[in-house]
């Protein structure tokens, strides 16, 4: 083998390694994107499961006063309300590993919120930008069985037009608005249900 042939073999080898590197990075991006989509769909399922479970669990009480107790989360866990993939000891975490906080809400101004004198919130903390935007723009229907009252993304709170005189912050949240509100990443979202 001549020196000329050895040189071209080395250049060919470097070319092959470069192509393999490009293919590997492309494959990694596809896998990462698929993992994000999966985690977002898991977070949506976790939210829906929690909302339905809490609503059913407290249906006979007619209010969510039980969520005020310091042992409320443990009681929900003991009664199999949160999905198993959310339970970490005595706390709840969503699929992106941020804290999940559930609270009872009492209104003193019923005239502003109609007959919603008692509701509860589910808060997902520290959501990455894409997940935040996807979760904020879930298609909720006004007066649907989910009884969604509002969504707070960071510091902006969105309500149904029937509960608001301000068109700027009304539901549903569009993808464009959600992307803008979630721009900083590690954003918190609070859903309020009646």
**How does DSSP classify residue 98?**
-
The model carries a pTM of: 0.77
Each of the 194 residues of the chain gets a pLDDT tens digit; together they read 555 555 567 788 888 888 888 887 777 777 777 788 888 989 999 998 999 999 888 888 878 888 888 889 999 999 999 999 999 988 999 999 999 999 988 766 555 554 445 789 999 999 999 999 999 988 765 555 568 888 999 888 888 877 666 666 888 888 888 999 998 777 899 999 88
List the domain boundaries for the chain.
3-193
**CA 94 to chain centroid:** 8
> Hey, what's the torsion of the CAs at 44, 48, 124, 104, to 10 degrees?
170
Q: Is beta strand 156-159 parallel, antiparallel or unpaired with respect to 118-127? A: unpaired
Q: How many CB atoms lie within 10 A of CB 120?
A: 24
> Hey, what's the torsion of the CAs at 42, 159, 187, 175, to 10 degrees?
70
- CATH 3.30.1690.10, domain 3-193, yes or no: yes
Q: Could you give the C-alpha distances from 72 to 7, 55, 102, 121, 151, in angstroms and in order?
A: 72, 14, 9, 13, 22
pLDDT at residue 90, rounded to an integer: 87
């Amino acid at each position: 083998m001549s020196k000329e042939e050895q040189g071209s073999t080395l250049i060919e080898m470097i070319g092959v390694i470069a192509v393999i590197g490009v293919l590997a990075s492309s494959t990694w991006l596809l896998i990462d994107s698929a993992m994000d989509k999966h985690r977002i769909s898991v977070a949506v399922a976790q939210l829906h499961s929690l909302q339905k479970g809490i609503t059913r669990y407290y249906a006979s009480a007619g209010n969510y006063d039980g969520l005020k107790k310091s042992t409320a989360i443990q009681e929900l866990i003991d009664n199999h309300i949160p999905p198993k993939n959310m339970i970490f000891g005595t706390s709840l975490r969503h699929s992106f590993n941020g804290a999940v906080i559930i609270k009872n809400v009492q209104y003193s101004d019923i005239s502003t919120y109609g007959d919603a004198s008692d509701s509860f919130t589910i808060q997902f903390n520290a959501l990455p930008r894409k997940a935040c935007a996807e979760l904020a723009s879930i298609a909720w229907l006004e007066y649907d069985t989910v009884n969604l009252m509002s969504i707070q993304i960071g510091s902006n709170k969105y309500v149904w037009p029937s509960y608001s005189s301000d068109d700027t912050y009304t539901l549903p949240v569009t993808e464009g608005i959600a992307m803008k509100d979630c721009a900083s990443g590690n954003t918190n979202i609070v859903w309020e249900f009646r």
